[in-house]
Amino acid sequence: MSFGLKEVGPVDNVKSPKHYKLEGLDIESKDVIKSLLGVESYIGWCWGNVLKYLFRWKKKNGLEDLKKASEILSWIIELKESENE
């Protein structure tokens, strides 16, 4: 029974967790943070989050936290690569 709820597909807690989408907008909070902080501060914010997930992976979410750390690290890599273009 669906109770009128619309299925939107599988939830991806690593690449696009729904709890980080801003209500009423098709944008994630990370994009707002990047815009507000600028690139270098955003990279620092990403680096802090990578460390958080690496520190806690054994005690909290295991493989999912390692994947989150990897995903956020990829954001840093993409930014650094785009600087070199």
The pLDDT of residue 22 = 62
Show pLDDT as tens, one digit a residue, over the chain (85 residues).
344 434 455 666 666 666 556 677 777 888 889 989 999 999 999 999 999 999 999 999 999 999 999 999 999 999 999 988 7
> Encoding tokens for residue 73?
């690290």
CB proximity list for 45: less than 8 A, separation 6 or greater: 33, 37
The pLDDT of residue 1 = 39
Q: What is the pTM of this model?
A: 0.72
CA distance 34 to 41: 8
The pLDDT of residue 29 = 83
**DSSP notation for the chain:** --TTPPP----BTTTB-GGGBPTTSS-BHHHHHHHHH-HHHHHHHHHHHHHHHHHHTTTTTTHHHHHHHHHHHHHHHHHHHHHT-
